[in-house]
Amino acid sequence: ELKVEQNPLFLSMQEGKNYTIYCNYSTTSDRLYWYRQDPGKSLESLFVLLSNGAVKQEGRLMASLDTKARLSTLHITAAVHDLSATYFCAVEPGSARQLTFGSGTQLTVLP
Amino acid sequence: GAGVSQSPSNKVTEKGKDVELRCDPISGHTALYWYRQSLGQGLEFLIYFQGNSAPDKSGLPSDRFSAERTGGSVSTLTIQRTQQEDSAVYLCASSLVGSAEQYFGPGTRLTVT
Protein backbone atom coordinates (compact mmCIF):
# COMPACT_ATOMS: atom_id res chain seq x y z
CA GLU A 1 0.00 0.00 0.00
CA LEU A 2 1.35 3.38 -1.01
CA LYS A 3 1.92 5.79 1.85
CA VAL A 4 2.60 9.49 1.37
CA GLU A 5 3.91 11.47 4.30
CA GLN A 6 4.22 15.23 4.47
CA ASN A 7 5.97 17.28 7.05
CA PRO A 8 5.48 19.50 8.75
CA LEU A 9 1.71 19.27 9.09
CA PHE A 10 1.52 22.81 10.43
CA LEU A 11 3.87 25.63 9.56
CA SER A 12 3.75 29.16 10.84
CA MET A 13 6.32 31.48 9.38
CA GLN A 14 7.16 35.15 9.20
CA GLU A 15 6.87 37.08 5.98
CA GLY A 16 10.15 37.23 4.14
CA LYS A 17 11.45 33.92 5.48
CA ASN A 18 12.27 30.76 3.57
CA TYR A 19 11.07 27.26 4.34
CA THR A 20 10.73 23.80 2.83
CA ILE A 21 7.88 21.31 2.96
CA TYR A 22 8.81 17.66 2.53
CA CYS A 23 6.88 14.85 0.89
CA ASN A 24 8.06 11.25 1.24
CA TYR A 25 6.38 8.30 -0.42
CA SER A 26 6.77 4.59 0.01
CA THR A 27 6.73 3.05 -3.46
CA THR A 28 8.24 3.66 -6.86
CA SER A 29 6.61 6.48 -8.77
CA ASP A 30 7.70 9.00 -11.36
CA ARG A 31 4.68 11.23 -11.02
CA LEU A 32 4.20 13.65 -8.20
CA TYR A 33 1.86 16.60 -7.88
CA TRP A 34 1.56 19.60 -5.61
CA TYR A 35 -1.80 21.22 -4.94
CA ARG A 36 -2.89 24.26 -2.99
CA GLN A 37 -6.18 24.46 -1.11
CA ASP A 38 -7.63 27.64 0.38
CA PRO A 39 -10.22 27.30 3.17
CA GLY A 40 -13.57 26.17 1.80
CA LYS A 41 -12.17 25.89 -1.71
CA SER A 42 -11.16 23.08 -4.01
CA LEU A 43 -7.68 21.96 -5.02
CA GLU A 44 -5.61 24.15 -7.31
CA SER A 45 -2.81 22.47 -9.24
CA LEU A 46 0.60 24.02 -8.58
CA PHE A 47 3.18 21.66 -10.04
CA VAL A 48 3.35 18.42 -11.99
CA LEU A 49 6.67 16.58 -11.63
CA LEU A 50 7.10 13.70 -14.05
CA SER A 51 10.70 12.55 -13.84
CA ASN A 52 13.64 12.17 -11.53
CA GLY A 53 15.40 15.45 -11.00
CA ALA A 54 12.45 17.53 -12.20
CA VAL A 55 12.44 21.06 -10.83
CA LYS A 56 9.68 23.58 -11.41
CA GLN A 57 9.32 27.13 -10.18
CA GLU A 58 6.42 29.52 -10.08
CA GLY A 59 6.88 32.80 -8.28
CA ARG A 60 8.03 32.18 -4.71
CA LEU A 61 7.44 28.43 -4.91
CA MET A 62 9.82 25.81 -6.24
CA ALA A 63 9.18 22.07 -6.34
CA SER A 64 11.63 19.25 -6.96
CA LEU A 65 11.48 15.49 -7.26
CA ASP A 66 14.04 12.82 -6.36
CA THR A 67 12.52 9.49 -7.34
CA LYS A 68 15.46 7.50 -6.01
CA ALA A 69 15.00 8.95 -2.54
CA ARG A 70 11.20 8.94 -3.02
CA LEU A 71 11.19 12.55 -1.92
CA SER A 72 9.73 15.77 -3.19
CA THR A 73 10.22 19.21 -1.71
CA LEU A 74 8.25 22.42 -1.99
CA HIS A 75 10.48 25.37 -1.20
CA ILE A 76 9.03 28.73 -0.25
CA THR A 77 11.21 31.79 -0.79
CA ALA A 78 10.55 35.10 0.97
CA ALA A 79 7.05 34.12 2.06
CA VAL A 80 4.16 36.54 1.74
CA HIS A 81 0.76 36.44 3.41
CA ASP A 82 -0.97 35.40 0.16
CA LEU A 83 0.80 32.05 0.35
CA SER A 84 -1.18 31.08 3.46
CA ALA A 85 -3.08 27.92 2.50
CA THR A 86 -2.90 24.15 2.84
CA TYR A 87 -0.47 22.43 0.49
CA PHE A 88 -0.86 18.80 -0.53
CA CYS A 89 1.49 16.52 -2.37
CA ALA A 90 0.02 13.58 -4.25
CA VAL A 91 1.62 10.56 -5.87
CA GLU A 92 0.40 8.55 -8.84
CA PRO A 93 1.53 4.98 -8.21
CA GLY A 94 2.74 2.87 -11.12
CA SER A 95 0.19 2.38 -13.84
CA ALA A 96 -2.75 3.40 -11.68
CA ARG A 97 -4.07 6.87 -12.37
CA GLN A 98 -5.65 7.67 -9.05
CA LEU A 99 -3.75 9.95 -6.69
CA THR A 100 -2.67 9.14 -3.16
CA PHE A 101 -2.44 12.32 -1.13
CA GLY A 102 -0.32 13.37 1.79
CA SER A 103 -2.01 14.76 4.89
CA GLY A 104 -1.37 18.32 3.85
CA THR A 105 0.72 21.13 5.31
CA GLN A 106 -1.24 24.04 6.70
CA LEU A 107 0.90 27.11 6.09
CA THR A 108 0.28 30.39 7.85
CA VAL A 109 2.43 33.37 6.90
CA LEU A 110 2.46 36.01 9.60
CA PRO A 111 3.07 39.71 8.93
CA GLY B 1 -13.27 27.69 -20.49
CA ALA B 2 -15.61 25.95 -18.07
CA GLY B 3 -14.02 23.88 -15.37
CA VAL B 4 -15.30 20.83 -13.53
CA SER B 5 -18.67 21.53 -11.97
CA GLN B 6 -20.39 19.70 -9.16
CA SER B 7 -23.86 19.83 -7.69
CA PRO B 8 -25.19 20.38 -5.17
CA SER B 9 -22.53 22.44 -3.43
CA ASN B 10 -23.98 21.52 -0.05
CA LYS B 11 -26.22 18.65 0.97
CA VAL B 12 -27.64 17.94 4.40
CA THR B 13 -29.39 14.61 4.80
CA GLU B 14 -30.72 12.42 7.55
CA LYS B 15 -29.00 9.22 8.48
CA GLY B 16 -30.38 6.33 6.46
CA LYS B 17 -31.38 8.39 3.42
CA ASP B 18 -29.88 7.97 -0.04
CA VAL B 19 -28.05 10.83 -1.76
CA GLU B 20 -26.84 11.51 -5.29
CA LEU B 21 -23.95 13.78 -6.10
CA ARG B 22 -23.32 15.00 -9.64
CA CYS B 23 -20.14 15.84 -11.53
CA ASP B 24 -19.79 17.50 -14.92
CA PRO B 25 -16.20 17.11 -16.15
CA ILE B 26 -14.37 19.46 -18.45
CA SER B 27 -15.56 18.96 -22.02
CA GLY B 28 -13.37 16.47 -23.84
CA HIS B 29 -11.88 14.95 -20.70
CA THR B 30 -12.34 11.20 -20.84
CA ALA B 31 -10.97 10.41 -17.40
CA LEU B 32 -13.07 11.18 -14.32
CA TYR B 33 -12.25 10.62 -10.67
CA TRP B 34 -14.10 10.86 -7.37
CA TYR B 35 -12.28 11.62 -4.13
CA ARG B 36 -13.47 12.23 -0.60
CA GLN B 37 -11.99 14.71 1.86
CA SER B 38 -12.77 14.32 5.54
CA LEU B 39 -11.14 15.52 8.74
CA GLY B 40 -10.31 12.06 9.95
CA GLN B 41 -9.16 10.44 6.72
CA GLY B 42 -7.76 13.27 4.62
CA LEU B 43 -8.11 13.02 0.85
CA GLU B 44 -9.06 9.53 -0.36
CA PHE B 45 -9.56 8.11 -3.84
CA LEU B 46 -12.97 6.55 -4.43
CA ILE B 47 -13.45 5.59 -8.09
CA TYR B 48 -11.95 6.24 -11.55
CA PHE B 49 -13.60 6.14 -14.98
CA GLN B 50 -11.60 6.07 -18.21
CA GLY B 51 -13.55 6.11 -21.46
CA ASN B 52 -15.53 2.91 -21.98
CA SER B 53 -13.29 0.80 -19.75
CA ALA B 54 -14.60 -0.81 -16.60
CA PRO B 55 -14.24 1.67 -13.74
CA ASP B 56 -11.63 1.23 -11.03
CA LYS B 57 -13.78 0.94 -7.90
CA SER B 58 -10.96 -0.03 -5.58
CA GLY B 59 -11.39 3.02 -3.34
CA LEU B 60 -15.10 2.70 -2.59
CA PRO B 61 -15.38 2.22 1.19
CA SER B 62 -18.47 0.00 1.21
CA ASP B 63 -21.17 -1.43 -1.03
CA ARG B 64 -23.38 1.51 -0.06
CA PHE B 65 -21.31 3.58 -2.47
CA SER B 66 -21.73 3.35 -6.23
CA ALA B 67 -21.06 5.56 -9.21
CA GLU B 68 -21.93 5.66 -12.85
CA ARG B 69 -20.90 7.72 -15.79
CA THR B 70 -23.40 8.24 -18.56
CA GLY B 71 -22.39 8.87 -22.15
CA GLY B 72 -18.78 9.22 -21.15
CA SER B 73 -19.48 12.59 -19.57
CA VAL B 74 -21.59 13.32 -16.49
CA SER B 75 -21.05 11.14 -13.44
CA THR B 76 -23.26 10.48 -10.44
CA LEU B 77 -21.99 9.21 -7.10
CA THR B 78 -24.72 7.54 -5.06
CA ILE B 79 -24.53 6.80 -1.36
CA GLN B 80 -27.26 4.57 -0.01
CA ARG B 81 -28.41 4.47 3.61
CA THR B 82 -26.09 7.30 4.58
CA GLN B 83 -24.20 7.13 7.85
CA GLN B 84 -22.67 9.96 9.88
CA GLU B 85 -19.18 8.83 8.90
CA ASP B 86 -20.09 9.59 5.28
CA SER B 87 -20.02 13.31 6.13
CA ALA B 88 -17.23 14.80 4.03
CA VAL B 89 -16.49 16.91 0.99
CA TYR B 90 -16.77 14.86 -2.17
CA LEU B 91 -14.47 16.08 -4.93
CA CYS B 92 -14.61 15.23 -8.59
CA ALA B 93 -11.69 15.62 -10.99
CA SER B 94 -11.19 15.08 -14.70
CA SER B 95 -8.25 14.78 -17.06
CA LEU B 96 -7.43 14.26 -20.71
CA VAL B 97 -6.40 10.84 -21.94
CA GLY B 98 -2.71 10.42 -21.25
CA SER B 99 -2.50 13.71 -19.41
CA ALA B 100 -0.92 13.77 -15.98
CA GLU B 101 -2.88 16.66 -14.62
CA GLN B 102 -6.22 16.26 -12.86
CA TYR B 103 -8.50 19.27 -12.57
CA PHE B 104 -10.70 19.39 -9.51
CA GLY B 105 -14.22 20.66 -9.12
CA PRO B 106 -15.43 22.79 -6.19
CA GLY B 107 -16.76 19.78 -4.28
CA THR B 108 -20.02 18.82 -2.61
CA ARG B 109 -20.11 19.15 1.17
CA LEU B 110 -22.24 16.32 2.54
CA THR B 111 -23.50 16.46 6.11
CA VAL B 112 -25.34 13.47 7.53
CA THR B 113 -27.34 14.30 10.64
Look over chain B and give the mean of its residue pLDDT values, rounded to a whole number. Answer: 93
> If you measure CA to CA, which chain A residue comes closest to B103?
A45
* Mean pLDDT value across chain A: 93
Q: In what order do the strands lie in the sheet with B75-79?
A: B5-7, B19-24, B75-79, B65-69
Whether B1 shows a pLDDT value over 80: the answer reads no
CB distance B100–A99 less than 8 Å?
Answer: no
| pLDDT for A29 | 79
Residues of A in contact with B31 (CB under 8 A): 97
Point out the residue among A42, A45, A96 whose CB comes nearest to the CB of B107.
A42
pLDDT for A1: 82
Give mean pLDDT, residues B53-76.
Answer: 92
Pick from B102, B108, B109 the residue to mutate for testing the A interface (most A CBs within 10 Å).
B102
Closest CA to A80 of A8, A19, A7, A6: A19
